[in-house]
Structure 1
C-alpha cells in the first residue's frame, strides 16, 4: 500500500497508465490542448472520472522540473483505494457499531491529512471522498496525517450522495456537521452505526446533501468567530463519538 508518490509526464504515457489500472489522483492539463491523442486521453479521463485541473504551462514546468510533459502531468496516488461496498459489509461483519467519515469536497491537503490522522486515532473504520473536487492524497497529505493514510481504508466515489444511500441501506445513520441546525452534537446518539459528514472549508456541506441526512448537528461556539477550522471541528465530532462509545 505504501507506494511512492510520483508523477507521470506525457499524453501517451498517461493513457497507458490509465489503461493499465494505475491509480491516478489528479491530472494537470495545459490550457488550450487539442489533437486526436488529447481527445483519447480526455475520453479516458471522463470515463474514469479522474480529477483534473487546467493550468498554465508555467505550473506544468514547475511540477515537471521542465521535463518533456507535452502539456499533461498525472499525479499517481500513494495509496490503493478500496470499494465502498466491500468496506461497508466487511466492516459490519466484524464491527457491530462501525464509525465512518464522509468528506464533502474538502480542498486543503493539510486539513485532509489532519482529519485522516484524527480519524485513525479515534478508530474510524473508513473515510469516503468524492473523485472530483476533493483534495488529493499528496506528499503533504501523507506528512500531515503522520502516515495514518496508510493505515485507514479510504474510498473514492462518484458522488457523496450515492455513498449516503449505500450507508442508509446498511442501516448506518448519517450525521451532518452543519451550523444550519439547532441540535448540538451532544444530543445525537453516536453509539449506533454512524457515518459523519464534514463539509468543505468554504461552503460547508452541500444543501442537497443536507436534505437527505437523518441528523444535523453543530458544535457550540461561545466566542465571536462564527466557525471552526474543519479539521478541528471534525476532531470534536469524532471524539464525542469516542466519548459516548467508551461510556456505553
Structure 2
C-alpha cells in the first residue's frame, strides 16, 4: 500500500497539471508563446536581417523602437525609418518630404516585415483582442487555435485585419498562421513555418505562403483546407543573415 500511494498521488498531480494547461485562456497561451520565442531578449535588442534584397534593422528598448529598411547594406542610398513618433525617408543622408498617403504606405511596408519577423512578439499589446476558439490537429500535432483582432485605437492602419494562430499545445510554438487583409481588394493568406532556428535566444522561422481558392474563407477553416491540399503555394518568406545583439546599455 505504501508503494501505491505515491504513484497514485503522482498520477493525480499529472492529471491536474494537464487539466490546468488545457484550461489556459488565450492571453496565457500567448504569454507562454512569446516567452518560448525569446520575447524577453527581443524587448531590449537590435535585430538585423535581409529580406528580398533589402536590409532591415530593428532596435527595441522596452516599447521604444526604431524599425529601418535600407536599399543598400550601408544605408547610404535610401533609408526608411519608423519610430514611436514618426516615419522618415532619407536619401543620400537627407530627409525627403513625402505625401501623407505615401508615408502611410511606406511605413506600413516597413512595419509589416518587422512585425512578421519576430511573431508572436507583440501579440500581448493592449490593442490585441484574442480568443481561444478550439483545437486542431495538423500533420499529427495538436494546436490551440487563437483568433486575434485589433481595437481601432492603437491597432494601426490595418486594425480591421484579423488573424488566426495555430500554437503547439506541447511546446507553445507558432507553426501556422492565417490572416485576412483588406488593402488592394483584400485576400487571405495561410503560412506554414519551416527552417526553424534560434539566434541568440530568439526563435526565427521562414514561411511557405499559401492562398485559398476562394476569397475570404473563414480563417478557422484554413487548417482543414491546408490538410486537404486546397491551398495554392504563392511564395516563400525567407529571412537571411539574421543577427541578434542584446542591448547591454538599455
TM tier, smaller: under 0.3
What TM-score do you get using the length of structure 2 for normalisation? 0.23
Higher helix share: 1
Higher strand share: 2
Tell me which structure has the larger Cα radius of gyration.
2
What TM-score do you get using the length of structure 1 for normalisation? 0.23
